[in-house]
């Protein structure tokens, strides 16, 4: 599915829809160029998820933990050189937990991503607008697509 968002406000709306679909064990992968909006989308998702803390990019810490309606793990694997490093950080325990996990730059660890996941690739169209390409596998992914279609219909 492809979605065009025209500005930050649209990204916020998409973030809210995504947030409502997140369940125990959901893994959401965000990819796209530097500064395209992966962390911004994560911030909107997190706020709607009941996290009061301001989310900052975990570029140096790789993984940050928050508590919303479920545990919420935010990873930025930009600086990860090998998939083994992820296991050293406890990657497995996060993705197979009762929480939800958002992974920026997920393609860097493509070989160890779970099969059931949501992938969002963000591309910059201009200053404000972005193209989001959403694919994935599993029941949470299916549910998200249904919700996004409803949203598209109300927009048209």
Ligand X SMILES: Nc1ncnc2c1ncn2[C@@H]1O[C@H](COP(=O)(O)OP(=O)(O)OP(=O)(O)O)[C@@H](O)[C@H]1O
CA distance linking residue 102 with residue 70, whole number of Å: 13
Pair 137, 126: CB distance under 8 Å: no
SS3 of 126-155: CCCCEEEEEEEECHHHHHHHHHHHHHHHHH
Using CB under 6 A as the binding rule, whether residue 39 contacts ligand X is answered as yes
One of 22, 27, 38, 144 touching ligand X (CB under 6 A): 38
Tell me the C-alpha distance between 66 and 99, whole Å: 10
Using CB under 5 A as the binding rule, the residues of this chain from 114 to 153 that contact Mg ion are none
Closest CB to ligand X among 48 and 104?
104
By beta-carbon distance, which residue lies closest to ligand X?
37
- Please report how close the Cβ of residue 40 comes to ligand X at its closest, in angstroms: 3
Smallest gap from residue 7 Cβ to ligand X (A): 5
Interaction site with ligand X (CB under 6 A): 5, 7-8, 11, 32, 34-40, 57, 104, 128, 130
């Amino acid at each position: 599915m492809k979605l065009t968002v025209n500005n930050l406000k649209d990204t916020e709306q998409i973030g809210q829809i995504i947030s409502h679909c997140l369940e125990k064990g959901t893994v959401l992968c965000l990819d796209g160029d530097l500064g395209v909006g992966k962390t911004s989308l994560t911030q909107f998702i997190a706020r709607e998820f009941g996290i009061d803390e301001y989310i900052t990019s975990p570029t140096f810490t790789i993984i940050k933990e928050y508590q919303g309606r479920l545990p919420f793990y935010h990873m930025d694997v930009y600086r990860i050189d090998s998939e083994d490093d992820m296991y050293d950080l406890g990657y497995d325990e996060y993705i197979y937990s009762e929480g939800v996990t958002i992974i920026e730059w997920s393609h860097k660890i493509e070989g160890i991503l779970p099969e059931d996941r949501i992938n969002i690739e963000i591309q910059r169209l201009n200053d404000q607008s972005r193209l989001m390409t959403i694919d994935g596998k599993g029941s949470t992914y299916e549910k998200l697509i249904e919700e996004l279609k409803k949203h598209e219909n109300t927009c048209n």
